[in-house]
Amino acid sequence: MENLLVAENIYKRFGNFTALNNVSINIPRESIFGLLGPNGAGKTTFLRIINQITMPDEGRVYLDGKPLHQDDIVHIGYLPEERGLYKSMKVGEQALYLARLKGLSKAEARERLKFWFRKLEIEDWWDKKIQELSKGMAQKVQFVITVLHRPKLLIFDEPFSGFDPVNANLIKDEIIQLKEEGATILFSTHRMESVEELCDYIALIHKSNKLLDGKVSEIKKEYKSNTFEVGLDAIDEATLRQELETRFQVGPARFKSIQDDLKLSIKIGENETSNELIQFLLSRARINHFVEVIPSVNDIFIKTVTQNA
């Protein structure tokens, strides 16, 4: 079985408002899956459905090939966007309680907590109350609680939005490590930088509809426009540009370089390869810079959203 989680034709309405309109998503095993979309697109509703906090009006969710069941909560770790802890409870006690709600025995939970607290160097927080901790400290505790029961599926809703940069980095590293240890990670975000760094797969939700999903590399291939950025050192830049313009689509380009080059972005024909462009350039100028323009997830995001607007 290739997919850990399969969501089929999910519909969810709140009164007259449709939050999810026929959304189907497959999440492959041991991957990092990014759920993208502007604010209010329906990402959180989708995550809540997987966590069985809200029920879909229509559609089915399968985990490990079996319909999602109440007992499956022990296989899922969820860090919601709106996250907090009991203010007047001690850190250790609270973590134990939440871990036991996820099905761990008291002894097991305590042992694993000790391990994580040591790992994150927060051992001396055990007997502190949450209200004595800073927000960043509380975030670390929340993260530990989310992953403690070693779920197959980890769900983070906007994991980087609430975290300070140091903790955001820490979470990023831990996410990668958890994936290497065999977990599947689903996170939602509207910040694209983190997607580029982490995600193997993405799905794009906009106004309750899924517009796009798949492997990041394949999506990028699909969205690339056969465009290359070049930095050229030519004697007569104006003539070269004219020559290029008769043959290709040419536009200005902006990139950093130590040379005082002619910087252009050149789009070649559908059936042409980069070699043909290089051959064309070789005889006319020295090539200091040659890079294929790969669309960023951000570009794809904006392009798709505006296309469907």
Q: Which residues bind other proteins (CB under 8 A)?
A: 14-15, 48, 51-54, 70, 73, 76, 78-80, 82-89, 97-98, 100-102, 142, 145
Supply the minimum distance, in Å, between the C-beta of residue 18 and other proteins. Answer: 13
Supply the minimum distance, in Å, between the C-beta of residue 70 and other proteins. Answer: 7
Minimum CB distance to other proteins smaller for 154 or for 281? 154
CB atoms within 10 A of CB 221: 11
Supply the minimum distance, in Å, between the C-beta of residue 43 and other proteins. Answer: 14
Residue 191 has what DSSP assignment? Answer: -
Name the strands in the sheet holding 32-36, side by side, starting at the edge strand that comes first in the sequence.
76-79, 153-157, 184-189, 32-36, 201-206, 209-215
Supply the minimum distance, in Å, between the C-beta of residue 156 and other proteins. Answer: 12
For 218, residues 6+ apart whose C-beta sits below 8 A from its C-beta are: none
In whole angstroms, what separates CA 261 from the centre of its chain? 36
Minimum CB distance to other proteins smaller for 53 or for 278? 53
Asked if 155 contacts 47 with a C-beta cutoff of 8 angstroms, the reply is yes
Supply the minimum distance, in Å, between the C-beta of residue 86 and other proteins. Answer: 6
Burial of 119 (0-12, 13-18, 19+ CB in 10 A): exposed
Own/partner contacts of 299-303, CB < 8 Å, gap of 24 or more, are 299/223, 300/204, 300/212, 300/219, 300/220, 300/223, 301/36, 301/192, 301/204, 303/223
Minimum CB distance to other proteins smaller for 22 or for 54? 54
Integer Cα distance of 168 and 153 in angstroms: 20
Minimum CB distance to other proteins smaller for 73 or for 277? 73
In whole angstroms, what separates CA 135 from the centre of its chain? 23
Minimum CB distance to other proteins smaller for 84 or for 269? 84
Cα-flanking dihedrals φ and ψ of residue 174, to 5°?
-65, -35
Encoded tokens for 266:
């050149």
Supply the minimum distance, in Å, between the C-beta of residue 31 and other proteins. Answer: 21
Supply the minimum distance, in Å, between the C-beta of residue 88 and other proteins. Answer: 8
Of the candidates 82, 89, 79, 95, the residue with the CA atom closest to the CA atom of residue 131: 89
Question: Residue with structure tokens 């005082």?
Answer: 260
Supply the minimum distance, in Å, between the C-beta of residue 135 and other proteins. Answer: 11
